[in-house]
Amino acid sequence: MEGKKTREEVEKSGMIDTWMRKHRLIYSGATKHPFILSIRDGTVDLEAFKTWLGQDYIFVRAFAPFVASVLIKAWKESDDSSDMEVILSGMASLNDEIAWFKSEAAKWGVQLSEVVPQKANQDYCRFLESLMSPDVEYTVAMTAFWAIEAVYQASFALCLEDGSKTPAELTETCRRWGNDGFGQYCNSLQKIANRRLGKTPDDVLSKAEVTLLRVLEHEVEFWNMSHGSA
């Protein structure tokens, strides 16, 4: 049996990988949710897809200020000036993402101005807002930022794998987050998070781990709005 790793050993391989192994059940609950699996196997209910589209537009509008708050924390607290460029590139893609949601909603006949945020979405947006507080450490916020992006990347990449039966009208959506460029951007976020986690005090490390788990729970609840126990 594998012995318990020392903190130094964990730092070498990266805290994020360690946590993904430790929390693999909840991680795969978020990345292989029945809603995503229904896209992948072609059985997705298109009404459920429209629900997700409208709700995610509202989420992304709250996510952009969260990313802006991470940018401010990086400017104030980061030990590496290149972090800001990575975060800025994320903000730029959110600008595209918001425009994409508007044109996609028009295609599907979803009136974005009439979408009412459901409870799971409100709870997730409130959680994001709590992470915007200046009291939340950069390392903690960065871990959440990585996790939020990584869940979408892993989920939608699954729908593009060989053998998947994703309906043609949904492949563009899947490519938006499942493409290699988005994957590389997630790797850059992961690298920043790992670097910070490798040199953070134990109390902040614990806060980051709890925050990661909260993100994964919110992601599961978010998918549930469209498919499952809403």
**Positions that interact with ligand NSP (CB under 6 A):** 56, 59-60, 63, 148-149, 151-152, 219, 222
Cα separation, 13 vs 21, in Å, equals 12
In angstroms, the CA 33 to CA 38 distance is 9
Catalytic residue among 97, 149, 219, 221: 219
Q: Is 114 tagged catalytic?
A: no
Decide whether 90 or 138 has the Cβ nearer to ligand NSP: 90
Phi-psi region of 4 (alpha: psi -120 to 50; beta: other; left: phi over 0): beta
Residue nearest to ligand NSP (CB): 152
| Contact by Cβ (8 Å): 115, 57 | yes
In whole angstroms, how close is the CB of 8 to ligand NSP at the nearest point? 33
> 79 or 129: whose CB is closer to ligand NSP?
129
Taking the least distance from each CB to ligand NSP, the nearer of 146 and 222 is 222
Shortest separation between residue 55's beta carbon and ligand NSP, angstroms: 8
Contact 105, 49 (CB under 8 A): no
> Rounded to whole angstroms, what are the CA distances from 145 to 90, 110, 172, 176?
10, 28, 23, 17
In angstroms, give the least distance from the CB of 155 to ligand NSP: 9
Closer to ligand NSP by Cβ: residue 137 or 149:
149
Residues tagged active-site: 219
